[in-house]
Structure 1
Amino acid sequence: MDKTAEKLTPFVLLFTRLVVGYLFLIHGTVKLFEFPFPNKGGAVSAMSILGVGGILEVVGGILIALGLFTRFTGFILAGLMAVAYFFFHASLENWLHPIVNRGELASIYCMVFLIYMVIGPGKWSLDEWLKNRNR
């Protein structure tokens, strides 16, 4: 089983990066452009706190999907999701209950981005390609 898992690791990291990056990108495009779906409150201003978050979601989603600057991007996005959780979801009464305060997605994204920060993007990424190209 260990050898199979080792062989599958690059595929799983690539697939996970593509899915997480795409989903995060879509969060940003909905906020900023109401694309591909309308946003309940309409598009937010890029100069608002939600707009800055949307910009980070778009740019960060693309970078994660490509596996480019992955560790740095993971660090920034984990921080963004921690801020999203503690400032927009958690309150004094329910900060430890993400299912109640609707912060479970921010919590999960935060943990996933911390994983990317620690383990990197994997073998099939632009980071790896750039590293090997410069040798």
Structure 2
Amino acid sequence: MSIYDPAPSPWAARMLAIFRIVAGGMFITFGTMKLFGYPANPMPNQPPIELWSQVGIGGVLELVGGMLIVLGLLTRPTAFILAGMMAVAYFQFHQPSAFWPATNGGTPAVLYCFFYLYLVAAGPGAWSLDGVIARSRGTRRATPLRTVVA
């Protein structure tokens, strides 16, 4: 295998699943930080979050959406909603202070936004509840990240 050849068939879907699980797990911590104060917020003296505020709803989306992403359940619609949430977070909270994500602290928001857009297109990869449900219903799911050899 050359460094220019695509990864062997099962490994691309497995690595996508690992990336999905790790990124979703990290995303959950943003929600728990907002909703439960754990892990501790790096910005001291933050007022308590109102659940029905924009930040509170964002925390709920991060917690619940992150759990769904980790499980690979309803991956595409969840990822679509979370990508939109991250785009709003970037343009509302980060971009007004500076143009570049590296200087306005918006790099995680941009990366999560595009990661979730990728999940919308690619699906959950291997090891997902979406795959289990599809197999139990007898529907044939397209193999994620299948490469076409000409």
Is the structural similarity TM-score above 0.5? yes
Q: Distance in 1 between matches of 2:105 and 2:67?
A: 25
- Aligned match of 1:94: 98
Map Cα deviations across residues 90-134 of structure 1 (whole Å, 9 max, x no partner). 02x733x10111101100000000000111001321001101101
Query: What does residue range 3-14 of structure 1 map to in structure 2 within 5 Å?
Result: 4-14=7-17
- Aligned match of 2:36: 33
Q: Give the superposed CA RMSD.
A: 1.5
Query: What does residue range 32-71 of structure 1 map to in structure 2 within 5 Å?
Result: 32-35=35-38, 37-39=39-41, 40=44, 41-71=46-76
- Paired positions, count: 132
Structure 1: runs of 5 or more not aligned = none
Whose Rg is larger? 2
User: How big is the shift at 1:17?
Assistant: 1.1
1:126 is the counterpart of 2:129? yes
SS of 1:127's equivalent in the other structure is helix
Q: Distance in 2 between matches of 1:10 and 1:49?
A: 35
Q: Distance in 2 between matches of 1:57 and 1:120?
A: 19
User: Which one of 26, 34, 51 corresponds to residue 23 of structure 1?
Assistant: 26
Structure 2: runs of 5 or more not aligned = 139-150
User: Which one of 72, 75, 82 corresponds to residue 77 of structure 1?
Assistant: 82
Given residue 61 of structure 2, which amino acid in structure 1 is its aligned partner? L
From the two aligned structures, give the one with the greater helix fraction: 1
Q: Distance in 2 between matches of 1:44 and 1:5?
A: 47
User: How big is the shift at 1:10?
Assistant: 2.5
Q: Given that residues 30 and 43 in structure 1 are in contact (C-alpha distance below 8 angstroms), is that contact kept between their aligned partners in structure 2?
A: no
SS of 1:85's equivalent in the other structure is helix
